Amino acid sequence: MSAQIIDGKAIAEQIRIRVTQEAKALGITPGLAVVIVGENPASQVYVRNKVKQTEEAGFISFEHRLPEDTPEAELLKIVEQLNDNSEVHGILVQLPLPDHIDPDLVIRTIDPAKDVDGFHPINAGKLAVGQDSLMPCTPQGSIILAKSVHPDLTGLNAVVLGRSNIVGKPVAQLLIQESATVTIAHSKTRDLDEVCARADLLIAAVGRAELVKKHWIKPGATVIDVGINRVSAEAGKTRLVGDVAFEEAKEVAGAITPVPGGVGPMTIACLLANTLKAACWAAGKPAPRF
Ligand code: NDP
């Protein structure tokens, strides 16, 4: 049996279409500011895609490209100016930042009401206590993909592989809200393969190329692969793979996301949904749910 391949690209496109339509219907023009420091090639690609899709959604895009040696104080000043700009509803500072800049300080400087990445401690806290907040985009996208297979996650055994603040922990919080039974595994977890093999829903976010093998997967399980790893390919080229050994995993899983084309496209779609949410809240209107 070969698994259902979950088409993140198509699902993300549906969300982007809905975001565009809802913004129009509400008479709101959301503004998203993206700040990038330095020349990290992967970050450059992400930012280009974010700006392009922001404009395609009919949002206003504000772009700040700063040199690698930008002083921390200068970046903080730009963030504060964006906080004060009423046309800007969402602020995203692309990570990673150069070593001389403290990412936690930058994140804490963003107005929590404009923190469309959902990384500010206020938004992380709201998520933890189950209050409506701006939630991190990749976790949101992962849950939407899981729910495309299981509209109701109640009672499922869910294993989250990875406990980062950006992916693992918020994914686990969202799964708790969905009434799944959640196990969080990490680099210190014993018998990792056996823990994963108990999962009805396995969400892998470790950043280790093809770590998850076929025998780690319960037959019929749903596998959401968040990992993006660049590995060597033929003729000196490189290619992207996930944290799951896709070719062998799809022989046993019930449904699985590919890399690329799974969780990746969902992240930007959820970023646009968060920006619309922030814009609605700024206008005192209820925000559509995705
Ligand atoms: P981090 O490096 O911050 O966290 C990795 C987590 O995986 C840690 O909790 C770590 O455990 C755990 N881990 C690492 N190695 C192992 C191992 N061998 N066995 C078990 N657990 C392990 O990564 P992120 O959470 O930021 O990202 C994870 C992956 O998701 C990356 O590939 C990243 O590129 C991708 N990503 C994709 C996005 C998208 O848009 N699709 C967005 C964000 C991330 P411990 O805590 O014990 O060290």
Please write the tens of the pLDDT for every residue from 177-225.
999 999 999 999 999 999 999 999 999 999 999 999 999 999 999 999 9
User: How open is the CA angle 233-234-236, to the nearest 5 degrees?
Assistant: 80
Distance separating alpha carbons of residues 148 and 207, to the nearest angstrom: 24
SS3 141: helix
Split at pLDDT 50, 70, 90, the class of 64 is: very high
Question: What is the average pLDDT across 240-260?
Answer: 98
What would the two tokens of residue 40 be?
Answer: 């990290």
270 within ligand 1 shell (Cβ under 6 A): no
Predicted confidence at residue 208, as pLDDT, reads 98
Locate the domains of the chain by residue range: 26-112, 136-264
Distance separating alpha carbons of residues 254 and 50, to the nearest angstrom: 31
Q: pLDDT exceeding 70 applies to what percent of the chain?
A: 100
Distance separating alpha carbons of residues 246 and 258, to the nearest angstrom: 7
pLDDT for 270 beyond 80: yes
Distance separating alpha carbons of residues 28 and 57, to the nearest angstrom: 12
Distance separating alpha carbons of residues 74 and 233, to the nearest angstrom: 40
Mutation test residue for ligand 1: of 169, 192, 228, 240, the one with most atoms within 8 Å of CB: 228
CATH 3.40.50.10860 fits 26-112, yes or no: yes
Q: For ligand 1, what atom is nearest to the CA of residue 163?
A: 9
| CB contact burial 2-19 (16+ within 10 A = b; e otherwise) | ebeebbbeebbeebbebb
Distance separating alpha carbons of residues 246 and 8, to the nearest angstrom: 15
Mean confidence (pLDDT) of the chain? 97
For ligand 1, atom 8, name the residue with the nearest CA: 162
Distance separating alpha carbons of residues 94 and 110, to the nearest angstrom: 13
In this prediction the pTM is 0.97
The identity of residue 13, as a single letter, is E
269 within ligand 1 shell (Cβ under 6 A): no
Could you tell me if 266 and 144 are in contact, meaning their C-beta atoms sit under 8 angstroms apart?
yes
Ligand 1: distance of its center to the CA of 161 in Å?
8
Predicted confidence at residue 253, as pLDDT, reads 98
Distance separating alpha carbons of residues 187 and 36, to the nearest angstrom: 30
Beta bridge partners, 35, equal 64, 93
Split at pLDDT 50, 70, 90, the class of 1 is: confident
Respond yes or no on whether the N-terminal peptide bond of residue 30 is cis (omega within 30° of 0): no
User: In the CATH scheme, what is the code of domain 136-264?
Assistant: 3.40.50.720
Q: Which residues contact 25 (CB under 8 A, 6 or more apart)?
A: none
CATH topology of 26-112 equal to that of 136-264? yes
Ligand 1: distance of its center to the CA of 204 in Å?
8
What would the two tokens of residue 195 be?
Answer: 């823990």
Distance separating alpha carbons of residues 90 and 87, to the nearest angstrom: 9
Mind telling me the catalytic residues? 50, 94, 117
Predicted confidence at residue 206, as pLDDT, reads 98
Could you tell me if 64 and 34 are in contact, meaning their C-beta atoms sit under 8 angstroms apart?
yes
Q: pLDDT exceeding 90 applies to what percent of the chain?
A: 99
